[in-house]
Structure 1
Amino acid sequence: MAKTLLARITRPRVSSSSWVVSVLMVLCSCITSTTFGYDGSMMNRLNILPSYTDYFHLNTATLSLNTAALWIGGAIAGLTYGQVTDIIGRRYALFWAAVGTLLSVILQTAAQNTAMFVIARILVGYGTSASTLTGPTYVAETLPYNWRAWGLGVLNDCYYVGGLIAAGVTYRKATYSSTWAWRVPSLVQGIFSILCIAILPFVPESPRWLAYCGRTEEALIVIAQTHANGDTSNPIVLAQYKEIIDTIEYERNVGETLSLKQMVKTPVERKRVSLAISAAVISKISGNVIASYYLGTMLENAGITDTTTQLQINIVLNAWCLCCALVGTYYADKLGRRPTAIISTSLLTVFLFIVGALTKIYGTSTNKSGVYGTVAAIFLFQGAYSFGWTPLLYLYPPEVLNYPIRANGMGLFTFVLNGVALLIVFSFPFAQEAMG
């Protein structure tokens, strides 16, 4: 079976419909962010689940480590998987990342102690981040131009699809008193990797990667499959093919390579990498990552202590964020990337201050209006983030990185993204403890 699957990955059975091919490519890449969204919502719930916290005898340090371990693996993937993606191709890179994530999820589900759980979480983080590094690169290089903005934007919007699924699964299993209350949600996380593996035999390789490797005839066929229902004589296909070939020849003539040094070789490329990294930093220091992984703690601070109510809020919040992200994806294409980022950042900054003020005033109050106002402010904060940074996070970096530095640049972007998230997620419980 494994040999058959690998053979189909090598020789994909691609549909004659460009629309079907485009949808499958986007769906395959979206699954990677769905896994991340599922993880955030799942861990947010597990951190307040007695059967989980009691089983691992969690204190502040181990709670932080269990939650943040995912980002350790993600940071390592950022440093290593960009080169892998350039060497073996985008589809194979997605395949092995999905396989690694699936095996890691099984290990996480079977964890018998904290050490085993943390190691599994690191491996899950590596596989998931390897996928989110490769997915946007693949979509940016393969999807037709008129689909590209939507494809890259929706890619990270599906984070909230995963969050919704996790919220529903953990809500149903909350009444379990055994360890299956946390093992079942963990096991379900592997379904997304299985879906990705199942789709990969039916989508083509990146035409830019094929052309760079000298497989120009295959590149032309792929462009035809994604742009003109397989018609290699279509003028748009031929123009796109010529543009790719000419660009690659120019980059080789001026000495550009796929090496890590290429990212800092010229001022232009340093600027491109800096712009990509800025998206990682701004998106994570906004506070969204805390709301994703410690929503239960935020709601307790706001005066919502009932577990069932917290779960219900989590479900509604993920649905709200998904709607805001889809609206933001539309406007990112209409308004432009920078205006969307400015609007989103300005609004979420205002709403974050409001959340802090209302939490301080009504956190220990019996004033229901004040408590509801705090929850509403959390919704507005998350909505403002989702409107801008959710679609832009994987739309903007692949666009500003040109082909020679795209995979490695996305690797560095992933490293910084995970490094900043690791610092925030690990330190938050200690900050909460210090504040009393």
Structure 2
Amino acid sequence: MWTCYNIYVLAAFGTIGGGLFGFDISSMSAWIGTETYMNYFNHPNDSLQGGITASMSAGSWLGSLLAGPLSDRYGRRLTLQFASIIWIIGSIITLSAHSVGHLIAGRIINGLCVGITSSQTPVYLAELAPKNIRGRIVGIQQWAIEWGILIMFFISYGCSFIKGPAGFRLAWGLQAVPAVVLFGALWFFPESPRWLAGKDRWEETLDVLAHLHAGGNKEDAAVMAEYEEVREAQLISAAAANESWLGLFGPKMWRRTTVGLFAQIWQQLLGGNVMMYYIVYVFQMAGLTGNVNLVSSSIQYVIFLLTTVVTLAGIDRVGRRPLFVYGGIVMGALNFAVAGLMANYGHAVDGVDGNANVVWQVTGAPAKGVIACTYIFVGVYGLTWAPCTWIYVSEIFPLKYRAKGVGLATSANWAFNFALAYFVPPAFKNIQWRAYLIFGVFCFCGVVHSFFMFPETCGKTLEEVDALFEDGVPAWKSDKTVSRMDERVHEIEAKGEAGVVQTERVHEKSEA
């Protein structure tokens, strides 16, 4: 069977799994303020709507925990295909929903898929991509999420003109199409060379690396250097004990695990989810109703999409740490600005545009200020924490624990995603603008933590990132470390034919 090795094509189709996440976000956010949805599901109150929205996150939490063992056993590619089938089943259940319970069941099943794809797509792409463009490639996952949000939002907007429940049923049914495409495309993808190495399939490992990085030339110096690094890392990994979940909290792993967990936790606590799931509510507070609200909400998704492109273009030059630190500072300031505008110029109301969950409103120039801050926040989020977190977490775990570690970290993302999706509607109703103060404080907590504990991974192979943690290099000095693989490439190039002989000896030892 023909296999595609173009890393950009692999990323474009592989990240459809991220697009499914985006589809699920806006398939709910676009409908929760519409009369059709509210009438059909009997005007869910703040707690019930929080539960409906959060049900997907609950399924995603479970899916991300299951993803690691599945990926380690069956491979990255087959695991993503399995997730595609789950999504199709969940979409069928969702589109046929006739009650809140039925809808929640479908969203939980969809969430299982999202939990698997959101954790294992970055792992798969990180293990395929060259180190010099790994951030860009893995970051396409976030870009795909944003495309999914935008596409599904406009599909839902168009379907909102269809009278009755047929509108949201059509929108929710169309969610299944990308999963069909992903399932089919994965048949033509190579397996991860790092996973193959973990199964001692060395010939296939070298073959995939050669096709990915040198057009199939197995004697290329860069290919041989990376092959040797992968082999050394696998030998060290195989000699270590304890591959269980508890091993993630062992003496040599706890730092990586806590960094991965909190990178995902802070990403959720910054306040980005408020903008993604409940932007309709936010704009209702700012006095926008009806179609004007929906169109205004779509603008933020376009901003999100465009700013992430800028990051993807430069993240492998700028690095990860500056985006975490400076992005958190700006977003914290914007959260406090929104809280100040709402506190000083807002007033209590009984509801907005038939939505009893929105009980605080700002009008006039201050309302425009709230909208402007919201747009700027989304832009900064798209430039920094939104794509950078997925990239970073996929890089920091060693091969032996990568699938489980990323799965565990992603489960933390979904646990807090669930909590926030459930918390925000009651928060808007009970503490109104004060919710933004909470998110602002979390932003600055994330800044402090990332400055002192998140080492720089930009420009390093996955195996060099292992050494960075093993050597205990302080996070704020980590950007000064030198790539050891570059030195190894130069050595192999200098040796010439000796490098070929060395590789042949490695093969002989492997066969022995």
Q: 1:310 to 1:256 in 2, by over 3 A?
A: farther
- Residue by residue, what CA displacement relative to the aligned partner does 1:199-256 show, whole Å, maximum 9, x if unpaired? 1011100011111112111111111121112222322222222221121012222x14
2:325 matched to 1:342? yes
Q: 1:111 to 1:366 in 2, by over 3 A?
A: closer
User: What CA distance in whole angstroms lies between the structure 2 residues aligned with 1:259 and 1:225?
Assistant: 33
User: What CA distance in whole angstroms lies between the structure 2 residues aligned with 1:362 and 1:96?
Assistant: 51
2:264 matched to 1:284? no
2:223 matched to 1:237? yes
Q: CA offset at residue 67 of structure 1? A: 0.7
User: Given that residues 38 and 162 in structure 1 are in contact (C-alpha distance below 8 angstroms), is that contact kept between their aligned partners in structure 2?
Assistant: yes
Q: How does 1:244-255 map to 2 (within 5 A)?
A: 244-253=230-239, 255=240
1:328 maps to which of 311, 320, 323: 311
Q: What amino acid is the match of 2:256?
A: R
User: What CA distance in whole angstroms lies between the structure 2 residues aligned with 1:331 and 1:174?
Assistant: 38
User: What CA distance in whole angstroms lies between the structure 1 residues aligned with 2:364 and 2:48?
Assistant: 34
Over aligned residues, Cα RMSD in angstroms? Answer: 1.7
1:303 maps to which of 264, 287, 309: 287
Q: What amino acid is the match of 2:47?
A: A
User: Given that residues 74 and 125 in structure 1 are in contact (C-alpha distance below 8 angstroms), is that contact kept between their aligned partners in structure 2?
Assistant: yes
Residue 99 of structure 2 aligns with which residue?
113
Q: CA offset at residue 366 of structure 1? A: 8.0
User: Given that residues 74 and 129 in structure 1 are in contact (C-alpha distance below 8 angstroms), is that contact kept between their aligned partners in structure 2?
Assistant: yes
2:343 matched to 1:360? yes
1:34 maps to which of 15, 19, 24: 19
User: What CA distance in whole angstroms lies between the structure 1 residues aligned with 2:22 and 2:340?
Assistant: 28
Residue 272 of structure 1 aligns with which residue?
256
1:374 maps to which of 359, 370, 375: 370
Q: 1:423 to 1:342 in 2, by over 3 A?
A: same
Q: CA offset at residue 296 of structure 1? A: 0.8
Q: What percent identity do the matched residue pairs reach?
A: 24
Q: What amino acid is the match of 1:244?
A: V
Q: What amino acid is the match of 1:79?
A: L
2:140 maps to which of 134, 151, 154: 154
Q: How does 1:82-161 map to 2 (within 5 A)?
A: 82-161=68-147
Q: What amino acid is the match of 2:90?
A: S
User: Given that residues 13 and 201 in structure 1 are in contact (C-alpha distance below 8 angstroms), is that contact kept between their aligned partners in structure 2?
Assistant: no
Q: What amino acid is the match of 1:394?
A: W
Q: CA offset at residue 360 of structure 1? A: 3.3
Q: What amino acid is the match of 2:364?
A: K
User: What CA distance in whole angstroms lies between the structure 2 residues aligned with 1:239 and 1:345?
Assistant: 37
- Residue by residue, what CA displacement relative to the aligned partner does 1:94-124 show, whole Å, maximum 9, x if unpaired? 1101111111111111112111111111110
Q: CA offset at residue 363 of structure 1? A: 4.3
Residue 14 of structure 1 aligns with which residue?
3
Q: What amino acid is the match of 1:347?
A: V
Residue 384 of structure 2 aligns with which residue?
388
User: Given that residues 133 and 414 in structure 1 are in contact (C-alpha distance below 8 angstroms), is that contact kept between their aligned partners in structure 2?
Assistant: yes
Q: What amino acid is the match of 1:259?
A: S
Q: What amino acid is the match of 1:389?
A: W
Q: Which has the higher helix share?
A: 1
Q: What amino acid is the match of 1:298?
A: V
User: What CA distance in whole angstroms lies between the structure 2 residues aligned with 1:349 and 1:41?
Assistant: 25
2:278 matched to 1:294? yes
Q: What amino acid is the match of 2:293?
A: Q
**SS of aligned partner of 2:253:** helix
1:168 maps to which of 154, 171, 185: 154
2:8 maps to which of 6, 23, 31: 23
- Note the residue ranges of structure 2 that are not aligned, 5 or more in a row: 348-360, 433-512
User: Given that residues 129 and 414 in structure 1 are in contact (C-alpha distance below 8 angstroms), is that contact kept between their aligned partners in structure 2?
Assistant: yes
Greater RCO (CA < 8 Å, at least 6 residues apart): 1
2:430 maps to which of 419, 423, 434: 434
Q: CA offset at residue 91 of structure 1? A: 0.3
Q: CA offset at residue 337 of structure 1? A: 1.0
User: Given that residues 133 and 316 in structure 2 are in contact (C-alpha distance below 8 angstroms), is that contact kept between their aligned partners in structure 1?
Assistant: no
Q: CA offset at residue 289 of structure 1? A: 0.6
Q: 1:272 to 1:249 in 2, by over 3 A?
A: same
**SS of aligned partner of 1:13:** coil
User: Given that residues 74 and 418 in structure 1 are in contact (C-alpha distance below 8 angstroms), is that contact kept between their aligned partners in structure 2?
Assistant: yes
Q: 1:48 to 1:142 in 2, by over 3 A?
A: same
Name the count of aligned residue pairs.
Answer: 418
TM-score, normalized by length of structure 1? 0.92
User: What CA distance in whole angstroms lies between the structure 1 residues aligned with 2:315 and 2:121?
Assistant: 19
User: What CA distance in whole angstroms lies between the structure 2 residues aligned with 1:214 and 1:126?
Assistant: 30
Q: CA offset at residue 362 of structure 1? A: 4.2
Q: CA offset at residue 133 of structure 1? A: 1.0
- Residue by residue, what CA displacement relative to the aligned partner does 1:73-108 show, whole Å, maximum 9, x if unpaired? 011112222111100000001110111111111111
User: Given that residues 303 and 363 in structure 1 are in contact (C-alpha distance below 8 angstroms), is that contact kept between their aligned partners in structure 2?
Assistant: no
User: What CA distance in whole angstroms lies between the structure 2 residues aligned with 1:331 and 1:354?
Assistant: 28
**SS of aligned partner of 2:3:** coil
1:263 maps to which of 216, 234, 248: 248
1:401 maps to which of 374, 397, 401: 397
Q: CA offset at residue 290 of structure 1? A: 1.4
- Note the residue ranges of structure 1 that are not aligned, 5 or more in a row: 1-11
Q: 1:256 to 1:383 in 2, by over 3 A?
A: farther
User: What CA distance in whole angstroms lies between the structure 2 residues aligned with 1:331 and 1:283?
Assistant: 20
Q: How does 1:402-421 map to 2 (within 5 A)?
A: 402-421=398-417
Higher alpha-carbon Rg? 2
User: What CA distance in whole angstroms lies between the structure 1 residues aligned with 2:77 and 2:327?
Assistant: 33
2:55 matched to 1:55? no
Q: 1:203 to 1:366 in 2, by over 3 A?
A: closer
User: Given that residues 401 and 409 in structure 1 are in contact (C-alpha distance below 8 angstroms), is that contact kept between their aligned partners in structure 2?
Assistant: yes
Residue 222 of structure 1 aligns with which residue?
208
User: What CA distance in whole angstroms lies between the structure 2 residues aligned with 1:392 and 1:416?
Assistant: 16
User: What CA distance in whole angstroms lies between the structure 2 residues aligned with 1:148 and 1:50?
Assistant: 45
Q: What amino acid is the match of 1:407?
A: A
Q: What amino acid is the match of 2:385?
A: W
Q: What amino acid is the match of 1:89?
A: G
User: What CA distance in whole angstroms lies between the structure 2 residues aligned with 1:124 and 1:256?
Assistant: 35
